[in-house]
Amino acid sequence: MRRLYWVILFNTLILSAAFAVNPYQLRPAGMKPVCDKSYLEIQNLPPLRDQGVYGFCYAHSTLMLLEHLRCSQSSYPSSCYKNAGSVLHLARFNTNKGQRIVAGGFPGNVLEHFRYNGRDLATESCAPYEKWRDLAKTSPPSDASGEHDYFYSMWNKLRENSSYDNKLCLANELKDAGFNQNIQELMSVIDKVNEISWKELRYKILVPETCLDQSIKYPDYDILPYPQRGTDKKDFKGLRDQIYRSLSQGHPLEASFCAETDSNGNCGYHSATIVGQRHVCDLSECRLQFRIQNSYGESWQRHNDNGWVDGENLTKLMADSGMGVTTILPKGESLNQNLTAPFYTNSPVGPGTSRSQHSSGESCWSVNTSAIENYQEPIPSSVPKFDNSSLKKPEEEETKKTVLYICKKDGQTLFTDSPTPDMDCRER
């Protein structure tokens, strides 16, 4: 088996940024998106998921890539997504050592192990993540790694009291919680409590063997991590080019980054999926944004500008911590390495305005060569009308700093450094 470039396993449950690390910087007030070739947004995405209090972002982001690979090219992607794979079963492929579910993992490991073990996944309806998520207790005991879980508590209770009545009581508790096993099947797993770890107990109850009888087969794929050790630069340009190449060919990317730090400066890592990129600009500057699909559910997306966050900041949090992005491609496909991401450091403002709207419905600038269009700045009534007679001759202006004017003509707002007598203007 090919050795992985990825060697770091990380535990990742980020509910809020700490100690000044904020991976989700939103666009500054007054900046609008730019509608041009740099605006890419993948459509026909799998539905958002909510990981709840458990540290399984790595499995959610990986499943998002696999579901998109399986369904995005189908005739009816939304119908395809309804028969989704199980994120709990996929989490088992974080390791090849036994059948267990571990909180905290690495998407590269999951993709590698899953690919070389047949690419068959139980369905979400048979092994539902939500049933387990809803089983979370307010303050369950934790194991040595600090992981809090209902099944750790259950495992301890069974080891302390292995009587038939206690086993039956816990089996009925699971059955009442809606797990897809009958009492006899649950009891057969519980009877092995002294032979297996609590994480194996968790897997065997959450992913019944019967679920594997009707599994989903995923297409074969190639894994493309960036940066690769010793060959790729861990910098803003290298990462943004890779993200642009992948999005240009319709492939989302898994992104791993430092999402919080503790008092000792140690990072808490998180995994999300990049599904779009764009620039947002005002009259003076532009910022690159990436759109992420986070496993924090609809509420997080809704309150964070639908996942549009500052691209330079997010990239820095990847590069500084040695993390990066991963794309999966249909077997045999490759990315166009000649593509270079457009990037605006300064606002491409110039003459000319017109109305524009992005396909998402959002009002935005429309770039035509050097012009950003759709800028509508009202001229206050208190501003005196511009005196056209005071315009300087071209030869007199050559030695002075160029002045940009905001003008009205035929109901349009224009930017120009050469107003004409038929315009109503003021200095910008």
The backbone region for 57, taken as left when phi is positive above 0, alpha when psi lies in -120 to 50, beta otherwise, is: alpha
Per-residue confidence (pLDDT) for residue 218, from 0 to 100: 97
Residues contacting 302, CB < 8 A, separation 6+: none
The backbone region for 369, taken as left when phi is positive above 0, alpha when psi lies in -120 to 50, beta otherwise, is: left
Per-residue confidence (pLDDT) for residue 352, from 0 to 100: 38
Phi, psi of 238 (to 5 degrees): -60, -45
Per-residue confidence (pLDDT) for residue 421, from 0 to 100: 73
Taking the CB of residue 223, how many other CB atoms lie within 10 A of it? 18
Q: Where are the domains of the chain?
A: 381-427
Q: Which two tokens stand for residue 66?
A: 């696999």
Per-residue confidence (pLDDT) for residue 376, from 0 to 100: 40
Pairwise CA distance, residues 390 & 214, whole Å:
81
In tens digits, the chain (428 residues) has pLDDT values of 333 333 333 333 333 333 457 899 999 988 888 888 889 999 999 999 999 878 899 999 999 999 999 998 888 999 999 999 999 999 999 988 778 888 888 999 999 999 999 999 999 999 999 888 777 654 566 665 667 788 888 898 888 898 999 999 989 988 888 787 889 999 999 999 889 998 999 999 999 999 999 899 999 999 999 998 767 777 889 999 999 999 999 999 999 998 888 778 788 889 999 999 999 888 778 899 999 999 999 999 999 999 999 999 999 999 887 889 999 999 999 999 999 998 887 665 543 334 456 666 677 777 654 444 443 433 344 444 444 444 344 444 344 445 666 677 766 666 666 677 777 777 65
Pairwise CA distance, residues 75 & 157, whole Å:
50
- Tell me the per-residue pLDDT of 128-149, one tens digit each, with 9 for 90 and over: 998 887 776 545 666 656 677 8
Phi, psi of 288 (to 5 degrees): -85, 135
Contact 425, 406 (CB under 8 A): yes
Pairwise CA distance, residues 297 & 136, whole Å:
17
Per-residue confidence (pLDDT) for residue 204, from 0 to 100: 92
Per-residue confidence (pLDDT) for residue 393, from 0 to 100: 42
Give whole-number Cα distances, 262 to 139, 220, 295, 315, 316, in Å. 22, 39, 22, 20, 18
Closest CA to 174 of 132, 144, 237, 121: 132
Q: What is the dihedral of CA 5, 9, 12, 18, to 10 degrees?
A: -80
